[in-house]
Structures are given as structure tokens and as C-alpha cells.
Amino acid sequence: MDEKALFAKIESLEKEVRRLQYAADAVDIQNLMSRYIFYMENGKIGEVWDDLWTHTNPDVRVEIMDSGAYLGQEHVKRVWDTMARRVDTDGNPVKKGATMSNTNTDRAFLLLMLTISSPLIEVSEDGTHAWGQWHIFGPHTNRVFDPETSTKKDTAFWIAGKYDNEFVKENGEWKILKLHPICWLRTPYHKSFLECPDCRRTPAPYWPPDEPATIHSFNPDEGNNPDKWGPFPHEHIVHK
């Protein structure tokens, strides 16, 4: 094999290695999101922060639907600690078994099913940063506002939307950097999403958030609003 052919072969092998590494990274990120879903559906909220987030990167961010955004290690950790009932909304430790005003009571019959699909994952050229989108769909139950009685009651409803997340690789392992579930529909199972596109607001884990809430809910009376559907892929990582 002459020198030119040898270099061509090396270049081809290097390209194949990059392609295989990209595929491996995409699978790892998909599995990371699947572990996140498992923790959320099984009420293991504290483990989301403990196991899945970067604990060193200062650019962490979480914005759970319309609860407002929280930035930085201290604030993002407190979001998960509050939702896991490790601390109350004032940051004080919570006794085991206690309930909190901004979470479900033991009578809410909570069902949380988060089915994610159509993964779109992009990995940076240096393999240390990634971005991903997934659609969300699933049945839920929660205590929500009933406009007919002006009270809150346990309600079964459908949820639909998407995740728009970012990830970083630390010591060979992918971690969540930014998490943003976007909600388009929260519709009671017995109503059309034209009748009731959004029956619930996601409460802020504690007050105030670092950035105000953003509403992405579908509105049948609203004109075309592409901003509600989340950013386009090319606005994130651009490959050379």
C-alpha cells in the first residue's frame, strides 16, 4: 500500500471511529434520560439530582414547565431537594413522612407516566457537550383546578409536550446540564384539548425563581406561534 492510500485508509478509519463514538454517546444519553424517567415515575425525585446531574458545572439550569427557571448549583440542587421533600419551601429540613403545600397530598392518587419518543440528539465535535429533544406524552393524575366548581379536585388528565435538554460528559460519563420540559397540553381525559388545553400550573418549588415562568400551553384561539414549540435543532450545536 502506497503512502497516499495508507493516509486515506487512516482517515477512513478515524471517521468510522468518530461515527461509532457519536452513536455510543447518543445511546448513553438516551439511557440517561430513561433513568431520569424511571426516577420521576417512581417518586425517586432525590435520586435525579444525586445520580444524573453534573455537580461541578456552574451553568446548570432547570425549568420545569411553567414553574420558572433556576440557575446554578445551589439553586438547582434546592429545586430537587424541595420536590423530594428533603427541605421545605424555605429551605428547612423536612421530617420523614411530612407533606408540603406545593406537592401532592397522600390522597391525590398520583399517577405520573412520562412516555418519551422521537429522540433528536446532537453531540459536539469534541464529544463533551450534547443537546437533545424528546416528545412527552402520558396519562397523569393530580389535584387540579376545576373551573366548574372553582375548587381543586383529583383529576385524570393527559399531558403532551417535549424535553429540550443539554448534557455534559464528565470523566467519561454523561450528566444533565440543563433540563427543560415544555408543556403544550394538560387536558382532562373527558374533555377535548380544544375545550380545556391546560388544566394545571406547575408550582414553583420555592420562591422566587431566577427567571419568571414561561407558558407554552396550546391555545385554540391563538394564531401561529412557533416560539411555543421550543428551539430548532440548528440553534444549538452546529457540526463542521
Report pLDDT digits (tens) over 94-133: 876 554 443 445 555 578 899 999 999 999 989 999 999 9
Which is higher by pLDDT, 30 or 218? 30
- As a whole number, the mean pLDDT across the chain is 86
DSSP at 226: G
pLDDT higher than 80, residue 68:
yes
Count CB-CB contacts under 10 A for residue 123: 25
Count CB-CB contacts under 10 A for residue 150: 7
What pLDDT is attached to residue 109? Answer: 54
Q: pTM of the full predicted structure?
A: 0.88
Cis peptide before 208 (omega within 30 of 0): yes
Residue 224 lies in a domain: yes
Element (H, E) at 119: strand 115-123
What pLDDT is attached to residue 104? Answer: 45
Residue 240 lies in a domain: no
Cβ atoms of 133 and 164 closer than 8 Å: yes
Residue 171, exposed/middle/buried by CB under 10 A (0-12, 13-18, 19+)? exposed
Domain interval for residue 187? 3-235
Average pLDDT of span 50-60 = 98
Residue 169 lies in a domain: yes
What pLDDT is attached to residue 88? Answer: 87
Q: How far apart are CA 53 and CA 36, in angstroms?
A: 10
Give the count of domains, the chain.
1
The model's confidence at residue 3, banded by pLDDT at 50, 70 and 90, is confident
Residue 43 lies in a domain: yes
What pLDDT is attached to residue 43? Answer: 84
Q: Please, which residues have CB within 8 angstroms of residue 36's CB and are 6 or more apart in sequence?
A: 48, 52, 176
What pLDDT is attached to residue 12? Answer: 76
Nearest 5°: CA angle at 238, between 232 and 239? Answer: 135
Nearest 5°: CA angle at 131, between 33 and 123? Answer: 105
The CATH number that applies at residue 221 is 3.10.450.50
